[in-house]
Amino acid sequence: MTARLPSNRVIHIIVALLIVLLIYFNLPRFTSSRDVDRLLGDINNSTLGFQEIFVVGLPSRTDRRDGMFLQAALSNMRIEFVDGVNGKDIPDKAIPMTFERERMNDASLGSWRAHMNAIQEVVRRNLTSALILEDDVDWDVRIKHQLKDFALSTRAITQPRPGSKSYADSTFPTPPKESSTAVPDISFHFMPNTESPRLSPYGDNWDLLWIGHCGMHFPFEDNPLIPKGRVIHLEDETVAPKQNLWTFNVPFTLKDKYPEHTRAVHHVQEGVCTLGYAISQAGARKLLHEIGLKDVTDGFDILLRFFCEGVNGRKYHNCLTTQPALFHHHRAAGPVSASSDIGDHGGGFREKSSTDMVRWSVRLNADVLLEGRTDFVDQYPDKALNSP
């Protein structure tokens, strides 16, 4: 009995399939916000992909603790408080100084020591990473979605290309000495393929993620230390309209140069306020060395800036951020003087609660979340096309 040979039609189908497979495996590969992997899925856990979430605040501010525990529960998050410190209780001998100068004000000293205690806890427990928040922050109902997009963006900047030591950001990890020009933006929707991280959903090459702040610059083109790459996410519906964005840093390049609803991820340059930041274990150890044991000359957020930028006697460290920030001040209704335990916000009374630049605020949507509804209140809606 003779064997039958495949028909021409079958041969053509097999050849066609081989050609398609050959083309597919040789095409440039891109990642998108829809890509998922095991580590990225960890952002859905109760600590947002970090090992712990610490909240720094004075025990006396029970109002803030009530608010933070409720927000965390409504977001399926687990938090742990680190007690704030009264600066007047810190003796001079416990404040590192290498030259004679006046002691900082007690409020700033207390803030510095409270954050150092949180960072010390990361080192003491040998945590792989931790998110550290102030006790007056708020975030978007979609925070886990935002953090997944942020993680994909930080990977594009800091993870090497597959099988290579090169990076999509040609200035990472060290900008070329002969170059002081900007590098092309990386589109969030067409990000280059990179090696998958092994340690953190946010990548393996970071010390600090400064994701809660009051302002940030894009890296200056003439800065010899800070990588210049940035990921630009157009049409991010979680970003408030431009009219509701603000910053302490001028010019506000994100608002001035990019379209509505644009988010950017890049390395830290002149950050202001420490509303929320994450640290790796390596980063926590470096922070103890650079901020806990060296001159305490300025407020904690300024010291953090020195740490990230490698100035004022500190070494440069790998710090990443996003504009707009993901954690912002919540301003509760009530006496304006209650807004801060560090600075004087003056008198007066705030009639209505608000949260800076957060569209679907967890605090302002507490009733909706408690009732299991999804008709979230957008406190910064887009203007209708026919509105004046």
Q: Which domain holds residue 133?
A: 48-329
The answer to the question of residue 19 being in a domain is: no
pLDDT band for position 383 (50/70/90)? confident
By CB atoms closer than 10 A (0-12, 13-18, 19+), residue 2 is exposed
- Residue 189, pLDDT > 90, answer yes
Tens digit of each residue's pLDDT (9 = 90 or more) over 20-41? 454 444 444 444 434 448 899 9
The answer to the question of residue 15 being in a domain is: no
Q: For residues 324 and 240, is the Cβ–Cβ distance under 8 A?
A: yes
Q: How many domains does the chain have?
A: 1
Tell me what pLDDT residue 177 has: 81
**Rounded CA gap, 254 and 267, in Å?**
14
Lowest mean pLDDT among 43-52, 182-191, 339-348, 371-380: 339-348
The answer to the question of residue 342 being in a domain is: no
Residue 229 structure tokens: 């790459």
Phi and psi, residue 33, nearest 5°: -65, -15
Q: For residues 281 and 128, is the Cβ–Cβ distance under 8 A?
A: yes
Tell me what pLDDT residue 334 has: 82
pLDDT band for position 345 (50/70/90)? low
The answer to the question of residue 2 being in a domain is: no
> Which residues in 213-303 belong to E strands, given as ranges?
230-233, 263-267, 276-280
- Residue 269, pLDDT > 90, answer yes
**Rounded CA gap, 150 and 49, in Å?**
12
Q: What average pLDDT does this structure show over 110-136?
A: 98
Cβ neighbors of 257 (< 8 A, separation 6 or more) are none
Give pTM, 2 decimals.
0.88
Closest by CA position to 266, among listed 346, 204, 332, 322: 322
The answer to the question of residue 134 being in a domain is: yes
- Other CB atoms within 10 Å distance of the CB of residue 95: 15
Tell me what pLDDT residue 368 has: 98
Question: Who has greater pLDDT, 383 or 91?
Answer: 91
Lowest mean pLDDT among 58-62, 240-244, 345-349, 375-379: 345-349
Dihedral sign (CA 52, 60, 88, 347): positive
Give the CATH number for residue 177.
Answer: 3.90.550
| Average pLDDT taken over every residue of the chain | 90
Read off the DSSP letter of residue 84: -
The answer to the question of residue 324 being in a domain is: yes
Percent pLDDT > 90 in the chain is 79
- In angstroms, what is the C-alpha Rg of the chain? 24
- Residue 295, pLDDT > 90, answer yes
Peptide bond just before 381 cis, omega within 30 deg: no
The answer to the question of residue 42 being in a domain is: no
The answer to the question of residue 247 being in a domain is: yes
Lowest mean pLDDT among 16-25, 128-137, 152-161, 346-355: 16-25
Q: For residues 158 and 320, is the Cβ–Cβ distance under 8 A?
A: yes
CA distances from residue 317 to 203, 274, 377 in whole angstroms, order as listed: 15, 17, 39
| Residue type present at position 370 | L
